[in-house]
Amino acid sequence: MKTITLVAFDNFTDIDLFLMWDILGRNRHDWRVRIVGKQGRLRSAHGLLVDTHGALAEANQADVVLFARGKEGVPAALAEPDFMNAFQLDPTRQLIGSICGGSFILAQLGLLPGRRAATHPEARGALRAAGVEPDQRPFMSVGNVATAGGCLAALYLVGWVVERLFGAGKSLETLRPVLPAGQYELYEKIIVASIREGRDGTGG
């Protein structure tokens, strides 16, 4: 049973967390997905109150660690020693990823290979200012670290995680239940191509 940890914080962008949560949460046999945060309860950017499942430190033992985004949430988290110091992540034994502005956290944790990341188009200027080169692709992976940009690119990030853990077949099987009815082939082509084109030829 693999463990997948979704890292959140106050003012996380609702969909960035919930999309990964919902897609991964449908499988209760191959992995266990948990939302961790500094507080027992977090408030989303749009004001939803969500109870977390565990402490940030859980991420350090997880097989997979994915960081959500938050326009105000990420800067606040980056400035919080209690938040940043909780992480002792290791890309040699963990799959690590971020959606949109979550890449700023990976950058500050020194986890971005080549200090390059995919992120939300609106965040590219700030990413460059943080010393990270924004990648124009919606998804990019180098080895065990992946970044995605644009909320729905969470499909590519989740697809990559499941493919790395259980193979391409299980990846599509995991995503299919959330795809629009009658358009599976159309979306699966886009998903497979986006994950493949995001690879930097290092086995990622």
What residue ranges bind a copy of itself (CB under 8 A)?
A: 13-15, 18-19, 21-23, 25, 46, 48-51, 118-122, 136-139, 148-153, 155-156, 177-183, 186-187, 190, 194
We find the least distance from the C-beta atom of residue 159 to a copy of itself, in angstroms, to be: 12
We find the least distance from the C-beta atom of residue 90 to a copy of itself, in angstroms, to be: 28
Instruction: Give the residue with the Cβ less far from a copy of itself, 100 or 145.
Output: 100
DSSP letters, 56-90, are GGGGGG-SEEEE---TTHHHHHHT-HHHHTT----
Instruction: Give the residue with the Cβ less far from a copy of itself, 10 or 14.
Output: 14
Instruction: Give the residue with the Cβ less far from a copy of itself, 129 or 181.
Output: 181
Instruction: Give the residue with the Cβ less far from a copy of itself, 89 or 172.
Output: 172
What's the CA gap between 2 and 81, in Å, rounded?
Answer: 29
| Phi, psi (degrees; rounded to nearest 5) at 35 | -95, 125
**Residue 21: both structure tokens together:** 């949560």
**Residue 82: both structure tokens together:** 């209690």
Neighbouring CB atoms inside 10 A of 113's CB total: 18
